[in-house]
Amino acid sequence: MKIYYFLNSVNKDNYNYLINKLELLKRWYSCKNIIQKYFYKIWDWNNNIWRINFGFFIDVFSFIENMKEKYNIEYKEILEKIEFINVNRNFYIFNDNIYIENSWNNFYTKINLNKKTYFVTSRDSWLNPFFILLYKLWEINKKLYVIRPNKREWWIYNDDKISNTSKLYQKREKLIWDVIVPLLYKRDNNSLYNFFDSVKTHLWNFVVIKKNSSQYWDWVKMLDLNNYKNDKIINFLRTNYINNWFESIYSIFITPLYKIKKEYRVYYIFNQKTKKTKIYAIKNRINENIWDIFWIKNYTINEDVKVTWKCMLKKTFNKNEKLVWFMSKISKNLWYDKWVIEFFENEKWELIYSELNSLWALLLFKEDENNMFEYYKKIWKIFI
């Protein structure tokens, strides 16, 4: 058993106070003894002993007491299984696995999810998309436990990229690209070098960094991992992609820069009653200069990135059983039943889901003008 207990909302002094009092459990103290002696009680001064008055302190000791009762083991053994995370370790999820930065050499090792593994917090917000995917892994892997009292659903926005990707995770190997979702508490240059070193072992040299929510042109960065050990590049990434967003739903994720043969943007409606998907329009996108833009700051379509759009006829799409099957699998699992699904064929002609996209700027061709109008009419017809 291994327990990762997150205390990143706790300041350094209070964290050190907790660690000091936890040592008492290795002697003759019990959790109740420690709360009785060291937690502040109203009108009880107890010989001028300084006492703490923060809920996380009782949270930790009550959690330990519960584990002691559940598994019938001593405090010392429980403490050996707990690692407290207080802005001192980095993590990332790569596909179905979780990696942690070693404290002794800063390299990353895979967490053994074949034994009971707990991720626990009582006070941390857990807004990073890392935790969205962590909850999904919990559904898939029965050895993994994610514990947060009063778990809120509102922070899973449903229209962010990782929330939608997570809904396909039961069929990840058949539907989804490789993805890395980091949780970077340590963001000095060496820590970021070590992180990208590890990224390079999983993906190839060229990767795409994206912001998880409200992600559009300016929040996409392509990186050549042969050249990332450059303070100028790292400082740019830290300023624009990591420091500002890492504790929020807007944090980053990383994918390979695939050699895309053909990209599809499909306007669809999924019928929740019949469980069938109807296709209304398909657009194909071709990036003209994708390999020439590793060093630009922005990725504005048709300014920095040259794009050609083509219209694919519905009858052509529907004749391709592979495309129809792929759209059916994706649309059945996503939260949305009326939106735009993006996927592509790579250099091996494998179909890979990319993302759900609202596409506020409509792509209207003369060839599919009537189909697009019918699509939006159908959306309103459900309500009128």
DSSP conformation class of 47: G
140 in Cβ contact with 155 (< 8 Å): no
Question: What is the chain's alpha carbon radius of gyration, rounded to the nearest angstrom?
Answer: 25
Coil, helix or strand for 94? strand
DSSP conformation class of 116: -
Alpha-helical regions (H) of 101-228: 129-140, 161-166, 172-175, 189-202
Query: Which residues sit opposite 101 in a β-bridge?
Result: 108
Check pLDDT > 80 for residue 200: yes
Going by C-beta distance under 8 Å and a sequence separation of 6 or more, which residues neighbour residue 202?
A: 94, 178, 180
Check pLDDT > 80 for residue 217: no
Check pLDDT > 80 for residue 212: yes
User: Given this model, what pLDDT does residue 302 score?
Assistant: 60
Q: How far apart are CA 145 and CA 134, in angstroms?
A: 9
In the chain, where are the structural domains located? 2-85, 91-112+156-256, 262-381
User: Given this model, what pLDDT does residue 334 score?
Assistant: 85
Going by C-beta distance under 8 Å and a sequence separation of 6 or more, which residues neighbour residue 218?
A: 297, 298, 299, 300
Reported as a single tens digit per residue, the pLDDT across 342-366 is: 999 988 889 999 888 876 667 889 9
In this structure, which topology does domain 262-381 adopt according to CATH? D-amino Acid Aminotransferase; Chain A, domain 1 (3.30.470)
Going by C-beta distance under 8 Å and a sequence separation of 6 or more, which residues neighbour residue 117?
A: 1, 2, 3, 4, 111, 143, 144, 145
Share the mean pLDDT of the chain.
87
User: Given this model, what pLDDT does residue 218 score?
Assistant: 61
**How many beta carbons lie within 10 A of that of residue 239, not counting itself?**
10
Q: How confident is the model at residue 370 (pLDDT cuts 50, 70, 90)?
A: very high
Decide which of 297 and 310 is more confident: 310
Give pTM, 2 decimals: 0.90
Reported as a single tens digit per residue, the pLDDT across 21-63 is: 999 999 889 999 999 999 988 777 656 677 888 999 999 999 9
292 in Cβ contact with 258 (< 8 Å): no
